[in-house]
Structure 1
Amino acid sequence: MPLNDLQKRLVADNATDFTGLNALFVNTTLKPGNGAPSHTQDLVDDSIAIMKGCGIETLCLRAADFRIAFGVSPDMREEGAEIDDWPEKIWPKVREADILVIGSPIWLGEESSICRVIIERLYAHSGQRNEKGQYVYYGKVGGTIITGNEDGIKHVAKTVLYSLQHIGYAIPPQADCGWIGEAGPGPSYGDETEDGRRAGYDSVFTRRNLTFMTFNLMHMARMLRQSGGLPDYGNQTTEWD
């Protein structure tokens, strides 16, 4: 949905310097980029618009456009996979991003199968270390955006955010947002309804939560950058080797 007047004003009046920070959005829709429009992407684009307007460098990848092998090793070709785009095409962008936002549709009450693959591949690097001897995701910030036409936003967000914090991402307050329609068949987010409106675009709750999530991600990423990341006392893996 296009940003409304309040969101545009918050971006225009923003006085916080977020320059130098970058965000990676990974849309785990089952649809490749050359297929049908993604309802999840429709909502992801609003968060991207806010970040860009505040000076954050953003990149969005649609996971279905890549051949990402399943597994929990950094390079699944070493485990027998014939093709794996993760090591060269995805991981370098994850490694460099200050902010990671995973978008997922809901299928049968759960995150998409591709979302699970992304989480598993992130986990594959969780034992690696940063320059301070901490786990590699320390100092980075994570969030999630969920869409569907059945109940399950909080359930999916719980799974994604737990996974991100478990491997080292910092999760700020209100780090998730989403939209769902009525139970049963019906329009998904952004679909045109019989009266010509777009489903979900009039949801103040969704618009508010997306705005809170986006600014909270940016604020926490900036605080971590300014403080040199998470303090390294008591959490260095080298102490336990």
Structure 2
Amino acid sequence: MKAIIFNCTLKPSPIASNTEALASEVIKELERLGVETKLIRMIDHDIKPGSKSDMGNGDAWPEILKELLDSDILIMASPTWVGQMSSIAMRVLERMNGLYPVKDEKGIPVTFNKVAGFVVTGEEDGARHVVSEMAGGLMDVGFTIAPQCYTYWNNGPGPGTSYLKTNFRKDWSIETAKAVANNVVAVSKALKAMPISYSI
């Protein structure tokens, strides 16, 4: 089983990413469960704006898309900015739009039987809104959304410190990250045993 993690931070490498720090807790549990994982920091790649799977010369998305389609699980990880997902996360969802017409040799959408989970961080609230927006977008293009498949951390009301600079309620976020990993793996195993095979 393979999982790909899209870190949609606005910070290019090698700058420390709060979102990646929490996503690493999901990754550790996935690997403990025997899942092969790969994390991609999306801002480090030239993902062109657009709604197709290939936007032409220099577009990094087609190669990333190959890795996504070779995976069973997708973890979308985004910081919260002005109560919204990052612009990088939105671009990823926009590029997912290119998958609408793509089907396998049996006529089943290529995103069917793939499971999604979510990680969100932010100095202020908005995480649940970001999760619902990302989940809605992925469900719309065919991903299965597992129960309790997100973890998040925020500092509470008003501006404050970041995930990497505090221990405030991290224990909850880390334990929930373990639940995310276990739940997406359980649903992925169920889909392998009885895959979705009907499409219009």
Query: Do both share a fold (TM > 0.5)?
Result: yes
Q: Is 1:61 paired with 2:35?
A: no
1:139 Cα offset (Å) = 0.6
1:25 is the counterpart of 2:11 = no
How does 1:79-94 map onto structure 2 within 5 Å? Answer: 82-88=57-63, 90-94=64-68
Separation in 2 of the partners of 1:133 and 1:48? 32
In the alignment, does 2:98 pair up with 1:118?
no
Report the Cα offset of residue 223 of structure 1. Answer: 1.1
Report deviation, 1:74.
1.0
Q: State how far apart, in whole Å, the 2-side matches of 1:53 and 1:74 are.
A: 33
Aligned-residue CA RMSD in angstroms?
Answer: 1.3
Counterpart in 2 of 1:158? 132
* Structure 2 alignment gaps of length 5 or more: none
Other-structure match for 1:195: none
Alignment partner, residue 171 of structure 1? 145
The aligned residue for residue 14 of structure 1 is none
Residue identity matched to 1:236: S
Structure (1/2) with the larger strand percentage: 2
Q: Residue by residue, what CA displacement relative to the aligned partner does 1:51-85 show, whole Å, maximum 9, x if unpaired? A: 111110000000011000010011111xxxx5211
Amino acid at match of 1:70: P
Distance 2:193 2:154 in 1: 37
The one-letter code of the counterpart of 1:27 is N
Deviations 1:197-228 (A, max 9, x none): x334x43432232121110001011111122x
Matches within 5 A, 1:143-154: 143-154=117-128
Aligned-pair CA distance for 1:42? 0.3
| Structure 2 length-normalised TM | 0.95
Q: What is the letter of the counterpart of residue 104 of structure 1?
A: S
Q: Aligned residues: percent identity?
A: 31
Greater C-alpha Rg: 1
Structure 1 alignment gaps of length 5 or more: 1-20, 192-197
Q: Distance in 2 between matches of 1:99 and 1:49?
A: 14
- CA deviation after TM superposition for structure 1 residue 182, in Å: 2.9
Q: TM-score, normalised by structure 1?
A: 0.79
| Stretches of 4+ aligned residues off by more than 4 angstroms | none
In the aligned structure 1, how far is the partner of 2:21 from the partner of 2:117? Answer: 17
1:173 counterpart SS class: strand
Q: How many residues align?
A: 200
Deviations 1:82-132 (A, max 9, x none): 5211112x0111111100000000000000000000011112112200232
**What whole-Å deviation, never above 9, does each CA across 1:1-45 have from its counterpart, x for those lacking one?**
xxxxxxxxxxxxxxxxxxxx00000000001112x2000000000
Q: Which amino acid aligns with 2:43?
A: A
Contact kept, 8 Å, 2:22 with 2:174, in 1: the verdict is no
1:206 pairs with 159, 173, 192, which one?
173
* 1:108 aligned onto 2:65: no
SS in 1 for 2:100: coil
* Residue type of the alignment partner of 2:30: M
How far apart in 2 are the matches of 1:124 and 1:199?
Answer: 40
Which residue does 1:45 correspond to in 2? Answer: 24
CA displacement at 1:168 relative to structure 2: 0.5
Kindly provide the amino acid, as one letter, of the partner of residue 75 in structure 1. D
Question: Which residue identity does 1:224 align to in structure 2?
Answer: L
